[in-house]
Amino acid sequence: MTGAAPRLAAVTRQLAAFTAGDAAIPDAVTLFEQTTGPADAWQRRALASPARRALWLCARQVGKSTTAAVLAAHEALSQRAGLTLLISPSERQSVELARKVRAVLIDADAVLSVDNVTSLELPNGSRVISLPSSEQTIRGFSAPSLVIEDEASRVSDALHHAIRPMLATSGGRLVLLTTAWGKRGHFYHEWTEGGDSWERTLVPADHCGRIASGFLDAERASIPPHVYASEYQCIFGDTVDAVFGAEWIAAALDDALEPLFSAGGARGNL
């Protein structure tokens, strides 16, 4: 029972903060710096942004998952009975992202009333649930205040399309973060053709001061150019099994040509 008194004190502090309102809870940037350390410029902008739809196209190891974890932790602290969903391509990745959110909350002196591998709940009723990429598992949830797709380029389009209607009544935020992975899928489509409804953040590896230029030089010399471009330069390349490049296919299309067959299947004049 030696830990009961400190835990009760922490619960009391947290409930007092919720009663006082959002002013008692640090903003997301401050939460990052209090629990994680100095934030990069792009992380400060992303965490402070009010955008309801956001795309983060980031190189490996620039801190995108850590930033997403702080965003999820802040949402749980500041929303009464809020629901944050963390979507990842695999169970291992979903567990790892939940672990990062848990670490932020613990460092912030938050108390978890529910704490298991993929589900966290705070005394204010807010929940953070981390799920692997499965359309079947996602359909049981509704009205999230925040949805984060980690490695979104590898999350299936079917799952992404199942997520979107959940936000219809909640007005919740949708954040997609990923490295580049070929000219395909919903992330690539939204990044290139999604229009002004999305806020876009681009973070190549040479924009991250924690990644040494010597390391990048060695990587550039050691791995195939298309892999380096994808992992470190945020460049969408053609998929490895493509016979023709995306630009060639696009250039070959012509809307002015008449189809050889009508909609009913009858052959047109040749």
pLDDT of residue 257: 56
Residue 263 lies in a domain: no
Please tell me the distance from the alpha carbon of residue 124 to that of residue 257, in angstroms, as a whole number: 61
Q: Report pLDDT digits (tens) over 40-77.
A: 999 999 999 999 999 999 999 999 999 999 999 999 99
pLDDT at 139: 80
pLDDT of 113 above 80: yes
29 falls within a domain: yes
Q: What is the CATH number of the domain that holds 201?
A: 3.40.50.300
Question: Could you give the C-alpha distances from 258 to 93, 128, 252, 266, in angstroms and in order?
Answer: 48, 52, 14, 13
CA distances to 13, 73, 116 from 113, in Å: 14, 14, 10
Is there a domain that residue 2 lies in? Answer: no
255 CB-near residues (< 8 Å, 6+ apart): none
Cβ atoms within 10 Å, residue 244: 10
Mean pLDDT computed over 177-182: 97
- Structural domain contains residue 193: yes
Residue 14 forms part of a structural domain: no
Count of structural domains within the chain: 1
Beta-sheet pairing, 114-115 with 119-121:
antiparallel
Position with higher pLDDT, 266 vs 161: 161
Percent of the chain beyond pLDDT 70?
79
Q: pLDDT per residue over 74-105, tens digit each?
A: 999 999 999 999 999 998 999 999 999 999 99
| Integer Rg of the chain from CA | 22
Name the token pair of 267.
Answer: 């052959």
Residue 255 pLDDT exceeds 70: no
For residue 140, the model assigns a pLDDT of: 79
Range of the domain at 106: 19-252
Whether residue 44 contacts residue 29, with contact meaning beta carbons closer than 8 Å, is answered with yes
**Residue 269 domain flag:** no
Query: Does residue 140 or residue 75 have the better pLDDT?
Result: 75
Q: pLDDT category, 27, cuts 50, 70, 90?
A: very high
In a domain, 66, yes or no: yes
Q: Is 114 helix (H, G, I), strand (E, B) or coil?
A: strand
Banded model confidence at residue 258, pLDDT cuts 50, 70, 90: low
Q: Would you say residue 7 lies in a domain? A: no
User: Which pLDDT band, with edges at 50, 70 and 90, does 134 fall under?
Assistant: confident
